[in-house]
Amino acid sequence: MFNRRTIAVLKRELKNKLFSRTFILMTLLIPIFLFGILGFQTLIMTYSGNDKTNLVLITEDSNLTQKIKSDFNSLTFVKNGIIRFDYKTLSKAGFMGYLDESRKMLLEDKISGIIFIPGNALKNKKIEYYSKSPKNYQLFEKIRDPLNTTLLQVYFADKKLSPDEINFVKDKIDFNEYRISSDRKIEVEGYGNTIVSFLFSFLLYFSLIFTGTMVMRAVVEEKNNRIVEVLLSSVNSIELMTGKIIGTSITGVLQMAIWMLPLVVVISTTLFVLPPEFAVTLSIWQVLYFLLNFFIALVTFMGLFASVGAIFDNDQDAQSGIWPIMIIIMIPFFITMGLQSNPDNTIARIGSMFPFGSLIIMPARMALIDVPVWQLLFSFVINIATMLLLFPVAGKIYRTGILMTGKKPGWGEVIKWLQIKY
């Protein structure tokens, strides 16, 4: 399989890809794009709307109104005027009348909403919110804690508790996350590894589909231009496919290695110190495993993409014939998305040792938890086995398809190709 002809094809592939504009652009643009996405997400999350929010806060007890007013005035979002409060003390009946009067103001957005704290709130903490768009979770998120604090203080005011005791009641439980790994270290766990895990699965997903589509296109082009016939008069189809795929895979891994460089610098040197909540616990070996895993994934999937390219003789048909491969890339990718809420869920654990899943889920899992060595090895063996089993199958489809022209073959026909003996 590896001879001078395969090497010649491989060399052309490398030369062609590495110095192409696409390669250089992708290598530069993907990190920018990724950070762009992260930044954009943060922006969306923190965006609170630039409209000023005018709220009316009404209680049934003037003491409570005063207390809330003085407490709220020290809050940042009140101080810098993002939310403006009008405070009133009205009875339940008075409030109903006020609500009727303010209906027009509410509908015209002169008042964003009215918060009514009934007397009973000091027993059951039920508070009413009236607005044109009442499901304003962002607002609730903002005022829930300060309001709770004030209510607690009022509630406990005559019960002779010290502020410390009140604080204890008020405070929520704070989980400090520590990662236990086999090397006996206990480390504070931040978001760093979650980001790395996301990075691993996104880059795998993206690169596999992107490189795959390129390989598929190249095969369709060779088939279409009839170059393949000239090539096949010198090399056989397996040599051609092997050279092409190994060449592409080396290019892909090289690109991935470039993308990994900043990560490697972060984890192995002290040039950049990340804030503790973004600290990354990862060893060089894991990055190497990731790259090796990526290489196997490329070889495995590129074989499939090449055979789909060989089945069809134009890009459109090939695009529509690609769905079986997309499914086996996308399902594992979606499973990795679920890892962020529970890195050790059963589906992910099984998926990471299942053909195809092992290629995409394992790297993401490995970044989040200390995967037992046997699982890593098992997954690796599955990867190699999948690759070795699939490559000849892809080769068979490739060698038959590449010379077929004219009618678009059905899947049944493609299965028949597998039975052709060479």
Using CB under 8 A as the criterion, which residues of the chain lie in contact with other proteins when the complex forms? Answer: 4-5, 8-9, 12, 16, 222, 225-236, 403, 422
366, two tokens: 């490995």
Q: Find the shortest distance in angstroms from Cβ 208 to other proteins.
A: 24
How far apart are the C-alpha atoms of 85 and 91, rounded to whole Å? 19
Q: Find the shortest distance in angstroms from Cβ 22 to other proteins.
A: 12
How far apart are the C-alpha atoms of 112 and 231, rounded to whole Å? 72
Q: Find the shortest distance in angstroms from Cβ 206 to other proteins.
A: 25
Choice between 12 and 110, CB closer to other proteins: 12
Choice between 4 and 159, CB closer to other proteins: 4
DSSP characters for 171-204? PPP-PPPEEE-TTS-EEE--SHHHHHHHHHHHHH
Choice between 13 and 189, CB closer to other proteins: 13
Residue appearing with tokens 């009875």: 91
Nearest alpha carbon to residue 301 among 328, 319, 275, 323: 328
Residue appearing with tokens 């393949």: 228
Q: Find the shortest distance in angstroms from Cβ 77 to other proteins.
A: 58
Q: Identify the three-state secondary structure at position 133.
A: coil
Choice between 218 and 318, CB closer to other proteins: 218
Nearest alpha carbon to residue 392 among 260, 267, 288, 303: 303
Q: Find the shortest distance in angstroms from Cβ 213 to other proteins.
A: 17
Choice between 11 and 132, CB closer to other proteins: 11
Q: Find the shortest distance in angstroms from Cβ 319 to other proteins.
A: 21
CB 54 within 8 A of CB 84: yes
Choice between 187 and 413, CB closer to other proteins: 413
CB 128 within 8 A of CB 115: yes
Phi, psi of 59 (to 5 degrees): -125, 170
Q: Find the shortest distance in angstroms from Cβ 351 to other proteins.
A: 40
How far apart are the C-alpha atoms of 403 and 224, rounded to whole Å? 10
Choice between 4 and 123, CB closer to other proteins: 4
Other C-beta atoms within 10 Å of 387: how many?
19
